[in-house]
Amino acid sequence: MPSTSNYGADQIQVLEGLEAVRKRPGMYIGSTGPKGLHHLVYEAVDNSIDEALAGHCTHIEVDLNADGSVTVTDDGRGIPTGIHSRTGKSALETVMTILHAGGKFGGEGYKVSGGLHGVGISVVNALSEFVEVTVWREGKVHKQRYERSFPVTELVAEPCLENRTGTSICFKPDTQIFTTGIEFDYMTLSSRLRELAYLNAGVKITFSDRRLELLKSDTPRIETYCYEGGIKEYIAYMNREKQPLHEEVIYVQGERNNVQIEVALQWCVDAYSDNVLGFANNIRTIDGGTHLEGLKTVLTRTMNTIARKRNKIKENESNLGGENIREGLTAVISVKVTDPEFEGQTKTKLGNTEVRGIVDSLVGEVLTEYLDFRPQVADAILEKAIQAFKAAEAARHARELVRRKSVLESSPLPGKLADCSSRDPSESEIFLVEGDSAGGSAKQGRNRRFQAILPLRGKIINIEKTDDARVYKNNEIQSLITGLGLGIKGDEFDVSQLRYHRICLMTDADVDGAHIRTLLLTFFYRYQRALIEQGFIYIACPPLYKVERGKNHYYCYSNRELQELASGFPSNANYTVQRFKGLGEMMPQQLWDTTMNPETRTLKQVEIEDAAEADRIFTVLMGDRVAPRREFIETYGSKMNLTDLDI
């Protein structure tokens, strides 16, 4: 009998304490890659921010240490150190070693907090090689060390000479869990810490990088984030490369039924899409939620009421659409809710239904009063919205024309699309290929069952600086919209209409190829950002070189790979190197083996870590204004390695 049949009571495993976290870390921090690694720091910092929200902490220090560890220190009340009645251990050890233990459930210790499940600091402890905790409280300094979740010293208390309170947590992520490496990325952490400083006005965050070897410097890199203006300054930061329609940022703040609300709004002349960021208890709600729905509803209703009152819209004319009013808007909404309901452990969508009505009424009152006293601001916003409405109407006519034309041609799909036979979008993928010659190779080399090919002729238009009517008239854009099933810009993204769940950009490995890829990414980011946010966009990685030696051949994807391969050959070896200038030079079988075969290819998934920074970079590099772009090139040009450029 095979051993699998011995399935008895002894086979049922009970994971004790934090063992479950070490067994399935992805459940708690999302992944064991870079995202999960940085999540550990966020968990520790969020606890300090919760102290700040409770009014007990004004300064948070985050240090990246030379040994690969991180220290997070605050001047809050300090984690309690007394003996916990139920566990018989100190409250500190209880919080560090037991899941779902924390001060945020009873409603007494914290009124508002981002930590909801009580898994924060205990998960950091479970996934770290060591954690050293220092607590300053009641005139004493308490210290304890943990290794891979277990306490290895007692809680030692000594008299504290200075009059201070607070907590310091120093941890080093465990390489047994984070097998891809434990090196923290400075930019990733700094953008999150800056965001937290904007969301919590007046809290000072000091971020230091003391990894001198990595910095190739004698002095640590130290940045301080402290913004008395809070989210108003955040809006100014995001719009610093744009031209505001009104100088003053519109700001709404209030509290109702224990829900605190902050909203900051500013419209810009030279932006054609909206950038609305939502936060609930300092957590960025990527998938939206009731607070964002409330804001969008009240903006549409209020602006239409003012437009009719100021006779900008006649009686017989229809209302302006929400997307017309939000054109060019940069907005931040931050809500603090006592009992937040998040959908999913990663907390990316707020579910509290009462928040929608509170946002609606509060913002409605303040915005109406603000614009009544500033008619010139109201007029400027409405003029832009009416222009957007007219452009959208023109675009709609252009779209109808596109649809009618495609109906007459009896097929709504673009003629040059070589579709796949599968009708299941989740297994289908489409390659957007530069030019007809590469398209020909790709069509011959693909797996027809689940791979579709859409060749694009030349460079598509830059939609960052083009109005909607022209966008819809462009043949290549028409092909993309109908071929992929993208729907209409500004409408809610409907994933059921998407025809392929892997959209792969496959361009040549030269400057033109990179430019086309950038134009396509700009198109997806501005036309249907949800495609990138939900992980449908990929970049194919074709090889740069083919090396032949005797009967063997090798593909190299970078100059470094080529050098490593060549250095492995004997000094007198004969071999030839072919540089692929374009995909069209590759035989169909070569293209399949290197770039399209799911077994052997490399695909890069396009992600947005920092939405505000992504928006700014698209504006700088692809927008109308030359000065910010020149400044960007002058700032970063000197740091480029010119040998990487294909000139």
Distance between CA 74 and CA 209 in Å, rounded?
17
Alpha-carbon separation of residue 388 from 233, 310, 348, 617 (angstroms): 27, 18, 30, 23
Judging by DSSP bridges, how do beta strands 221-225 and 150-151 pair with one another?
unpaired
Catalytic residue, chosen from 341, 467, 510, 561, is 510
Active site residue 646: no
Distance CA(420)–CA(446), nearest Å, equals 9
Rounded to whole angstroms, how far apart are CA atoms 243 and 620? 12
CA terminus-to-terminus distance, the chain: 68
Residue 385, token pair as written in the block: 């919205």
Known catalytic membership, residue 508: yes
Buried b (16+ CB within 10 A) or exposed e, 541-558: bbbbbbbeeeeeebbbbe
Query: Which residue of the set 512, 593, 609, 624 is catalytic?
Result: 512
Looking at 63, 274, 508, 615, which residue is catalytic?
508
C-alpha to C-alpha distance for 32 and 544, rounded to whole angstroms: 31
Go through 210-221 and write b for each residue having 16 or more CB atoms within 10 A of its CB, e for each that does not.
bbeeeeeeeeeb
Sign of CA dihedral 408, 413, 419, 425: negative
> Which residue's structure tokens are 């931040």?
332
Rounded to whole angstroms, how far apart are CA atoms 560 and 558? Answer: 5
In a 13 Å sphere around the CA of 178, the CA atoms on its Cβ side amount to 25
Return the sign of the alpha-carbon dihedral for residues 241, 243, 245, 249: positive
Instruction: Decide if 136 contacts 166 (C-beta within 8 A).
Output: yes
Per the annotation, the verdict on 434 as an active-site residue is yes
Compute the distance between CA of residue 582 and CA of residue 437 in angstroms, rounded to an integer: 9
Q: Which residues contact 242 (CB under 8 A, 6 or more apart)?
A: 268, 269, 270, 271, 330, 619, 623
Whether 512 sits among the annotated catalytic residues: the reply is yes
Q: Tell me the residue type at 130.
A: F
Please pick, among 51, 74, 429, 434, the residue that the annotation labels catalytic.
434
Distance of CA 293 to the CA centre of its chain: 20
> Taking a C-beta distance cutoff of 8 angstroms, is the pair 251, 263 a contact?
yes
Active site residues: 434, 508, 510, 512
